Amino acid sequence: MKKGNIKHKVRGAYLTSLVSISMVLLLLGIVGWMILGASFLSIYVKENICFSLIMKNDIREADIKQYQKTLDAKSFIKATEYITKDEAANSLQNELGEDFISTLGYNPLSATLNVYLTAAYAHPDSISKVENIFLTENEIVEEVAYQHNLLGLINDNVNKISIILLVFSVALFIISLALINNTVRLMIFSKRFIINSMKLVGAKRGFIRKPFLISGALQGLFSSLIAIGILSAIFYFTNKHLGEVVSLIDPIIIISLYAILIIIGILLTSVSTYFSINKYLKLKTSNLYY
């Protein structure tokens, strides 16, 4: 009966530590997902800021298309879109709900090239240089139009969010390290008499450590797999409501996040197990009760 109770308590302690480590790793995974989501969302927003290159009225369409090909070849350009004068007029008429061309007697709008930059160049320092390139490298561009305030606001908010997430993730990692370490120490503490018995029969330290290190590594692996399973469920349900945001994250990046969680789980439990065992390997039998 007593042996059954002991086994039950050991299994209960193991499951408790397994769940505890899983929850800690789950929190790390959620923070990692938030960081990835914020990063990819920032890239998406930056690469969808439109820079309208307004062309001079006397420029031929062939020249504009040739310039478009030149822009498409540049490393800092993600995409371009050519809007003819007629297309611009039709779009404006649909917005206004009236035929302003009939009223004016002519089309006052100019052809434009809508340009989208890569995220790396979509910040104030680079924008001024890129804008200067648009205006000076080719004489067909009359004006460059874009939302200056929106661009500055996006960059300011991205920087603030990045700092907050970085501080939060570092703090959470330190807390997670302490929690996992304490959980493993409690597990090893419950087996201190077994460790001492192995010492008394002359077992070498390496021999004593081995089963505990394997058990610790497996515990880290199982905990990380549980965390990944819950995280995947969260991804699935989040994708139903915020599909556009979740879809921005590259699946390979998500797999990499899962791999990192497995490595962290195995590494932290193994290291904590190693140092906890060493403590009891050095401890005298008389001190095991304190």
**Residue range 92-132, pLDDT digits in tens:** 777 777 776 676 767 777 888 999 988 888 877 788 888 88
Whether residue 181 sits in one domain with residue 40: yes
pLDDT at 1: 43
CATH of the domain at 97: 3.30.70.3040
Band of the pLDDT at 286, cuts 50, 70, 90? Answer: low
Number of domains in the chain: 2
Distance CA 220, CA 266 (A): 4
pLDDT at 85: 83
Whether residue 259 sits in one domain with residue 116: no
Mean pLDDT of 254-260: 90
- Does position 141 have pLDDT exceeding 50, yes or no? yes
Higher pLDDT, 17 or 103: 17
Whether residue 243 sits in one domain with residue 161: yes
Whether residue 234 sits in one domain with residue 184: yes
**Cβ atoms of 60 and 284 closer than 8 Å:** no
Domain carrying residue 194: 2-44+154-287
Whether residue 275 sits in one domain with residue 194: yes
Whether residue 127 sits in one domain with residue 167: no
Distance CA 251, CA 221 (A): 21
Band of the pLDDT at 6, cuts 50, 70, 90? Answer: very low
**Cβ atoms of 165 and 38 closer than 8 Å:** yes
Higher pLDDT, 241 or 53: 53
Boundary of a domain, candidates 94, 116, 146:
146
Band of the pLDDT at 259, cuts 50, 70, 90? Answer: very high
Q: What is the pLDDT of residues 37-91, one digit of tens each?
A: 778 888 888 888 888 898 888 888 888 899 899 999 988 899 999 988 888 878 7
Whether residue 160 sits in one domain with residue 26: yes
Boundary of a domain, candidates 146, 176, 196:
146
- Does position 245 have pLDDT exceeding 70, yes or no? no
Whether residue 114 sits in one domain with residue 25: no
Distance CA 261, CA 16 (A): 19
Higher pLDDT, 90 or 6: 90
- Does position 248 have pLDDT exceeding 70, yes or no? no
- Does position 5 have pLDDT exceeding 60, yes or no? no
Whether residue 202 sits in one domain with residue 226: yes
Whether residue 234 sits in one domain with residue 141: no
Whether residue 282 sits in one domain with residue 160: yes
Boundary of a domain, candidates 83, 114, 146:
146
Rounded to the nearest integer, the mean pLDDT of the chain is 81
pLDDT at 223: 92
What's the CA angle centered on 212, arms 207 and 213, to 5 degrees? 90
Whether residue 84 sits in one domain with residue 20: no
DSSP string, 153-171: HHHHHHHHHHHHHHHHHHH
Higher pLDDT, 11 or 196: 196
